[in-house]
Structure 1
Amino acid sequence: MGNKAWHVEGKTGFDALKLQDDPVPEVGDKDVLVRFHGSSLNYRDLVIPKGMYPFAQRDGVVPASDGAGTVEQVGKNVTRFKKGDKVITLFNQGHIAGSLDEHSVMGGVGGAVDGCLRQYGEYDEQGLVTMPSNLNFLEASTLTCAGLTAWNALYGLKTLLPGDWVLTQGTGGVSIFAVQFAKAAGARVIATTSSASKGEKLKQLGADHVLNYKEDTNWGETAKKLTGGRGVQHVVEVGGPNTMAQSLKAIAFDGVISIIGFIGGAKGEQQPTFLETLTNICTVRGLLVGSRHQFEEMNRAIEANNIKPVIDAKVWKLDQVKEAYQYMWDQKHFAKVCIEID
């Protein structure tokens, strides 16, 4: 039994990604050996080999937090899974319920803990969830990071209600999940994009309004007008300081802006200050994915509403990982970039 595995050796860019043959991991008493069939990439995976990731990571790690596969073997004390079960990795291995703590924040798969761009991986039984029955392995592999981050944004602090307004930015994985989850919950969605063709796809996914942020640089005020002047209850903020100023213009009283990324860069021309949370009477929160409890809650909603994650048309193989990273870095993708692992 071989185990082809990628490793991140250094921080020199995508050439730091090395493919090698690893031994199949030994299974401890409480561990589960997973044979991976699908993985998906996140912006985080691209910045780790570039040395731009602000959270825990170790040199030589197997990349990618997101993986779905079948249970190949279980340790003698495992009770949660049996051989043949279909499972997905949990992003922060120790984050079972409630808030992150100083211990669980150090357990990120693909950063500090070996990830999913390999044929076999072993995880503590607590660090896996059962796959939703309506999804295939590639679809399921998109849930670990992007799916759960969107779910936490909409439900983690203040529960999204039917009739609420949600503002999403762009067409990355988290933003698209947020559109799908919001529509399934009976909420209304305003989505931003800079591309007319991506705007059409957002409408097909259920977005009520699509704003082109290149043509309408004051899209935050436009969004507020679309809600009849009340503002949006939830913003899924992926852009960083430059989009934050507009998000604050769009937010309703007691609304929540969830900061989940900084793809627009970490430096802003128009840095908002913390005072703007007072002048807009809103909550701004940072979040790092979510707990296993939330993951299981989300999976029940995915099954009940038959939500299908959106996958980019181009699916890559395990030996094409570097090309897949470059393709995503060049922003040639729509929604989730997936890698098939046989």
Structure 2
Amino acid sequence: MRAKSSEGKMKTYIVQTEGSDVRLKIVERDRPTPGPGEVLVHLGAMSLNYHDMAVIRGDIPTADGRVPMSDGAGTVLAIGAGVTQWREGDRVLSTFFPDWADGTINIAKRRNVTGDTIDGVAAEYIVLPEKGVTRQPEGWSHAEASTLPCAALTAWRAVVVEGKVKPGDWVLVQGTGGVSVFALQFARAAGARVVATSSSDKKLEAMRDLGAEICINYRSTPKWGAEAANLTGGIDQIVEVGGPETLKESIKAARLGGHITMIGVLTGIKGEVPTAMFFQKNLHMTGVSVGSHAMQLDMIRAIEANDLRPVIDREFSFAELNEAFDHQADQAHLGKIIVKGIED
């Protein structure tokens, strides 16, 4: 049986940036109350992203004592003064950029990042701005919904919003993390054909089961870009998660006039780019960092219309968040890693 928080208290994780080698610590704090324009949410589940790991490791600087994690789903327990959009009992979902409602991104809209520049969702109870949450997909569990705000929305924007993928297009996804799996699902829902790459034949078989038509092991085929181009005639849309070590192959894989969405830097933050090949092929590349509330709602409607479900690798208890990050660091997962909330 789990240990309950004392009356009026709750358990929460914080990031320690000073005086300790332990950067992720669970502590007890006062249970928050919603202020004007805010909602109090009981956390049902949260999911892990590479961004969260970067914050906890210190690769992305944050304040000492920051509550981490961007992606959480739960139930509204109370509403603050002036709240009209939500009622007690509503099932809601966090947003990565709580100030980006719609339109083009700008500095003001991306100033606040959940679990980074402002407190995140790794707590029993969280207070979120009324306009900083969206509804969950109908019929989804909290665990399923918690997979959406960062990884799924990044994939949605990469494939649909920026990539404008259409039936018959070839889409290439790299690896088997949350973004890549969602990108495969969204591409297939749009009628596109998918090439998947991974270093694991077992994971590639799982991607094939999800709808990937061509699977390439980049360990056994290091020149996978040329291989993808030969097998397809050139890729229309590439979801680039690796960064400098994979971009060269992505450029080789792309068709003339193709598009690359740069969404990750798993292999580093700088490197050589074959610029001559890039302009000779008349390629387009767009940087993507998650998306807006409006995009999140569009994605949820598309998920419901296509009856999509997330691929969940493993679930951990609230007390096992550190173990969940160890599992993520091992890179053995396929899809999303979930940490469940503490039940009332």
Give the shorter-chain TM-score range. over 0.9
User: Closer, same or farther in 2 for the Cα pair 1:326/1:262, shift >3 Å?
Assistant: same
Per the TM alignment, residue 293 of structure 1 is displaced from its structure 2 partner at its CA by 0.5
Q: What one-letter code is carried by the residue in structure 1 that aligns with 2:99?
A: G
Is the 8 Å Cα contact of residues 263 and 288 (structure 2) preserved in structure 1?
A: yes
Partner of 1:246: 249
Structure 1 distance, partners of 2:21, 2:172, is: 33
Q: What one-letter code is carried by the residue in structure 1 that aligns with 2:333?
A: H
1:121 aligns with 2:140: no
User: Closer, same or farther in 2 for the Cα pair 1:326/1:280, shift >3 Å?
Assistant: same
Deviations 1:165-202 (A, max 9, x none): 10000000000000011111110000001111101100
Per the TM alignment, residue 272 of structure 1 is displaced from its structure 2 partner at its CA by 0.9
Match for residue 262 of structure 1 among 258, 262, 265: 265
Correspondence list, 1:1-342, <5 A: 1-10=8-17, 15-53=22-60, 57-227=62-232, 229=233, 231-268=234-271, 271-312=272-313, 314-342=314-342
Deviations 1:38-90 (A, max 9, x none): 0000111112122212xx73332111100000011111211211110001001
Structure 2 distance, partners of 1:11, 1:148, is: 33
Q: What one-letter code is carried by the residue in structure 2 that aligns with 1:140?
A: A
Per the TM alignment, residue 273 of structure 1 is displaced from its structure 2 partner at its CA by 4.4
RMSD: 1.6
Per the TM alignment, residue 11 of structure 1 is displaced from its structure 2 partner at its CA by 7.1
Q: Secondary structure of 1:38's partner?
A: strand
Structure 1 distance, partners of 2:52, 2:278, is: 31
Structure 1 distance, partners of 2:311, 2:121, is: 20
Stretches of structure 2 that go unaligned for 5 or more consecutive residues are 1-7
Is the 8 Å Cα contact of residues 157 and 163 (structure 2) preserved in structure 1?
A: no
User: Closer, same or farther in 2 for the Cα pair 1:280/1:58, shift >3 Å?
Assistant: farther
Per the TM alignment, residue 331 of structure 1 is displaced from its structure 2 partner at its CA by 1.4
Is the 8 Å Cα contact of residues 48 and 111 (structure 1) preserved in structure 2?
A: yes
Q: What one-letter code is carried by the residue in structure 2 that aligns with 1:259?
A: M
Per the TM alignment, residue 254 of structure 1 is displaced from its structure 2 partner at its CA by 2.7
Q: What one-letter code is carried by the residue in structure 1 that aligns with 2:256?
A: F
Deviations 1:10-40 (A, max 9, x none): 1799721111111122211111111111000
Q: Secondary structure of 2:57's partner?
A: coil
Is the 8 Å Cα contact of residues 195 and 215 (structure 2) preserved in structure 1?
A: yes
Structure 2 distance, partners of 1:176, 1:133, is: 21
Structure 1 distance, partners of 2:204, 2:335, is: 13
Is the 8 Å Cα contact of residues 315 and 339 (structure 2) preserved in structure 1?
A: yes
Identity percentage of aligned residues: 40
User: Closer, same or farther in 2 for the Cα pair 1:170/1:111, shift >3 Å?
Assistant: same
User: Closer, same or farther in 2 for the Cα pair 1:178/1:11, shift >3 Å?
Assistant: farther
Deviations 1:138-174 (A, max 9, x none): 1110001000000010122241111111000000000
Between the two proteins, the alignment pairs up a number of residues equal to 335
Structure 2 distance, partners of 1:246, 1:130, is: 39
More displaced 10-residue stretch of structure 1: 278-287 or 144-153: 278-287
User: Closer, same or farther in 2 for the Cα pair 1:12/1:333, shift >3 Å?
Assistant: farther
Deviations 1:243-283 (A, max 9, x none): 00000011123322111111122344xx1144443122111
Structure 2 distance, partners of 1:156, 1:60, is: 36
Q: What one-letter code is carried by the residue in structure 2 that aligns with 1:319?
A: A
Structure 2 distance, partners of 1:62, 1:273, is: 40
Q: Secondary structure of 1:104's partner?
A: coil
Report the TM-score, using the length of structure 2 for normalisation.
0.94
Per the TM alignment, residue 300 of structure 1 is displaced from its structure 2 partner at its CA by 0.3
Is the 8 Å Cα contact of residues 56 and 68 (structure 2) preserved in structure 1?
A: no
Is the 8 Å Cα contact of residues 251 and 277 (structure 2) preserved in structure 1?
A: yes
User: Closer, same or farther in 2 for the Cα pair 1:172/1:12, shift >3 Å?
Assistant: farther
Is the 8 Å Cα contact of residues 277 and 284 (structure 1) preserved in structure 2?
A: no
Structure 1 distance, partners of 2:276, 2:112, is: 33
Is the 8 Å Cα contact of residues 12 and 49 (structure 1) preserved in structure 2?
A: no
Q: What one-letter code is carried by the residue in structure 2 that aligns with 1:49?
A: I
